[in-house]
Amino acid sequence: MKGNKYGTHRVIEPKGALPQPALKIDNTMDIYDNEILIDVDYLNIDSASFTQIEEECGGDEDKIAKRIMDIVSERGKMQNPVTGSGGMLLGRVNKIGPDLVDRDLKMGDKIATLVSLSLTPLKIHKIKRIVKEVDRVEIEGQAILFESGIYAKLPDDIPETLALAVLDVAGAPAQTAKLVKPGDTVFVIGAGGKSGLLVCYEAKKRAGITGKVIAMAHSDKSLKRLKDAGFADIVLQGDATKPAEVLKMVEKVTGGRLADITINCVNVPDTEMSSILATKDDGLIYFFSMATSFTKAALGAEGVGKDVNMIIGNGYTKGHAEIALQTLRESETLRKIFEELYL
Q: pLDDT tens-digit profile of 246-261? A: 999 999 999 999 999 9
- Domain range summary for the chain, segments of one domain joined by +: 8-154, 171-342
- Residue 1 half-sphere exposure toward CB, CA atoms < 13 A: 6
Query: Do 8-154 and 171-342 agree at the fold level?
Result: no
> Averaged over 192-198, what is the pLDDT?
94
Fold of 8-154: Quinone Oxidoreductase; Chain A, domain 1 (3.90.180)
Q: Please tell me whether residue 5 adopts helix, strand or coil conformation.
A: coil
**Four-point Cα dihedral 109, 114, 116, 122, nearest 10:** -10
Q: Using 50, 70 and 90 to split pLDDT, how confident is the model at 297? A: very high
pLDDT surpassing 90 at residue 310: yes
Statement: residue 313 has pLDDT above 90: no
Q: How far is CA 69 from CA 29, 47, 100, 139, 209, in A?
A: 17, 18, 30, 11, 49
How far apart, in whole angstroms, are the C-alpha atoms of residue 214 and residue 195? 15
With cut-offs at 50, 70 and 90, classify the pLDDT of residue 318.
confident
**Residue-wise pLDDT tens digits, 128-185:** 999 999 999 999 999 999 999 999 999 999 999 899 889 989 999 999 999 999 999 9
Instruction: Compute the distance between CA of residue 215 and CA of residue 232 in angstroms, rounded to an integer.
Output: 6
> Residue 81 gets which letter from DSSP?
T
| CATH class belonging to 171-342 | alpha beta
Q: Are 135 and 46 in contact (CB under 8 A)?
A: yes
Percent above pLDDT 70 for the chain: 100
Least confident of 63-72, 89-98, 311-320: 311-320
Share of the chain above pLDDT 90, in %: 93
pTM of the model: 0.87
Going by pLDDT thresholds of 50, 70 and 90, the confidence category of residue 102 is: confident
DSSP for 106-160? -TT-EEEE-S-GGGS-EEEEEEEEEEGGGTEEEEEEEEEE-TT--EEEPPSSS-H
